[in-house]
A = this chain, B = another copy of it.
Amino acid sequence: MATNSRIVSIDVMKSFISNIMAKLDVNPSHAQCLAEVLVTGDYRGHFSHGLNRIELYIKDIQQGSCRKDGMPTILKETVATAWIDGNALLGPVVGKFCMELAIKKAKECGIGWVVAKGSNHFGIAGYYSMMALPHKLLVTYFQKIIVIFLMKLFSQKKGMSFTNASPLLAPTRSKEPFFGTNPISVSAPSSSKNDDFVLDMATSVVALGKVEIAHRKEEKIPNGWAIDKDGKTIDDPANYHALLPLGGPENSSGYKGYGLAALVEIFTSILGGSSVAPNVRNWTANHVEADLGQCFVAINPDCFAPGFDNRMTELANNLRSQKPADPDNPVLIHGDPERKHMQKCDHQGGIEYHINQIKMANKLAQQFEIEPLKTIDTD
């Protein structure tokens, strides 16, 4: 273990988050739901979407844009679809409600397609798509999302703009950010837990965090990650103005990533009637309801060709046995890096956090008058 990190057990971290939420008078089951999702993010190695974002949830609740209690409402429903009002509840509460409904519908008629408006930020998209794996369902998930924590880092750097925080991604040919990083997540069950496919990707080339890290290290970034305020691709992260869509510039098919970002926008805010890009609230505007749109789809493979699970496992094994260009970097399937991280956590008895994260958490503990984080003694 690195000296600048500490290990915290999963249960301790969940209790810590629940305890803060209890001090804010959040419904205990909502608090538990948030803790579960955020700690799953960290456990899977997606630290940007875990404990890291706790302050956003706290501020939204404190300023009243996120509600502490209540339930999402079904506004319209068929056997296969539902349109939901998230009623500005915590994102994980809305997400879990919608995904459970989609799973129920998929069991009944093969497909459940659920779209929510009035939702909030809710951690890793993969959490929801993975909810269907134990049911042996195939799941797709789209969210119009805001990258929040990373923007905060940005605002501390000179020459970095943090106006127009919510839109990050510039459509091909545009010099202004328009879409969020609009992620897509798809999970598909296999015959072994180790072969489950879990894709969870932003439709931008990279997350803003990668540009930010390069800036901090005073390193160049590859041309094609981002543009300056004139719309030119940059290699100096100090000139950052907007991210490019997956594919990068137009000549390497960035218009495809732009199309995927638009697809996510259509499946979420346009279908659900929530706030549409580029008019999503600024990340600092915690008093304004985020009104995020989210789309959850569950698919029952039993309605199609028998043997889905086995074909998934075979596909995974086939891919992993492809000849790699570099023998030290074998071909992986989506979900493998996260499985590796979880194994490491299991071996260590908990999640390894950077010391700064622990310090931030213990400042919150002091502020909310709760127990500080108990770390695992590794001597």
Contacts and interface: CB of A to CB of B under 8 A. Distances in A.
A43 interface: no
Interface stretch (A18-26, A50-58, A62-70, A110-118): A110-118
Interface residues of A, number: 84
A252 B248 contact: yes
B80 A262 contact: no
Most buried by B among A299, A305, A318: A305
A272 to B, nearest CB: 6
B199 A263 contact: yes
B270 A176 contact: no
Contacts of A171: 319, 322, 331
Contact of A301 (B173, B202, B271, B319): B271
A172 to B, nearest CB: 7
A325 B225 contact: no
A130 B232 CA distance: 34
Interface of A: 76, 78-81, 83, 109-111, 113, 115, 117, 138, 171-176, 178, 186, 188, 197, 199, 201-202, 205-206, 222, 224-225, 227, 230-232, 246-248, 251-253, 255-257, 259-260, 262-263, 265-266, 269-273, 276-278, 299-301, 303-308, 311-312, 314-315, 318-319, 322-326, 329-334
